[in-house]
């Protein structure tokens, strides 16, 4: 007999996004988005797949990178590459949540200016990256960048 327990009715409006996570074996889990994309996660120090905390780190990097590239392209800048190196600090004791995350962008292109890249990173940080803006409620999030002109 299946039983469902509602701990708290938290949805006051329309749902905007859904996903599910299913236990596979050991501490491995399969996440699936409503769009059908799947990703493995491993709670055992990331032995078989990224840990959920590594996924959070990659999510903020991916979200902000999309913004930076999009903003530069819309400004008609010749972007050839964008990589973000993420470093973080976590609490020593449980719960081991992030206390600081730095996103360091390495943007490659032709004739990229410091002003343009700085603007793109700043707009992502302050206006567009929903993951970063959400995390900033509890975590110190900083940004840095370098430019590699070809």
Per residue, the 3-state secondary structure of 77-96, as one string, reads CEEEEEEEEEEEEECCCCCC
Domain ranges in the chain with CATH number 3.30.300.20: 52-149
Q: Which CATH number fits domain 52-149: 3.20.20.70, 3.40.50.300, 3.30.300.20, 3.30.450.40?
A: 3.30.300.20
Domain covering 18-50 in this structure, CATH number: 2.20.25.10
Report whether 94 contacts 110 (CB < 8 A). Answer: no
Any idea how long the chain is?
150
pLDDT tens, per residue, the chain with 150 residues: 677 666 665 555 667 889 999 999 999 999 999 999 999 999 977 688 999 999 999 999 999 999 999 999 999 999 999 999 999 999 999 999 999 999 999 999 999 999 999 999 999 999 999 999 999 999 999 999 999 999
The Cβ of residue 123 has, within 10 Å, a number of other Cβ atoms equal to 15
Domain ranges in the chain with CATH number 2.20.25.10: 18-50
pTM of this prediction? 0.89
CA 78 to chain centre: 24
């Amino acid at each position: 007999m299946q039983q469902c327990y509602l701990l708290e009715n938290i949805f006051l409006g329309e749902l905007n996004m859904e996903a599910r996570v299913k236990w596979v074996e050991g501490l491995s889990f399969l996440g699936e988005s409503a769009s059908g994309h799947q990703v493995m996660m491993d709670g055992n120090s990331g032995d078989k797949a990224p840990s959920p905390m590594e996924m959070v780190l990659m999510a903020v990097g991916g979200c902000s990178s999309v913004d930076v590239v999009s903003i530069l392209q819309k400004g008609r800048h010749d972007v050839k590459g964008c990589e973000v190196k993420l470093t973080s600090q976590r609490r020593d004791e449980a719960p081991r949540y992030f206390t600081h995350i730095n996103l360091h962008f390495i943007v490659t292109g032709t004739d990229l200016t410091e002003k343009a890249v700085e603007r793109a990173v700043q707009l992502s940080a302050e206006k567009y990256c929903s993951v970063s803006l959400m995390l900033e409620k509890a975590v110190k999030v900083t940004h840095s960048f370098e430019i590699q002109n070809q």
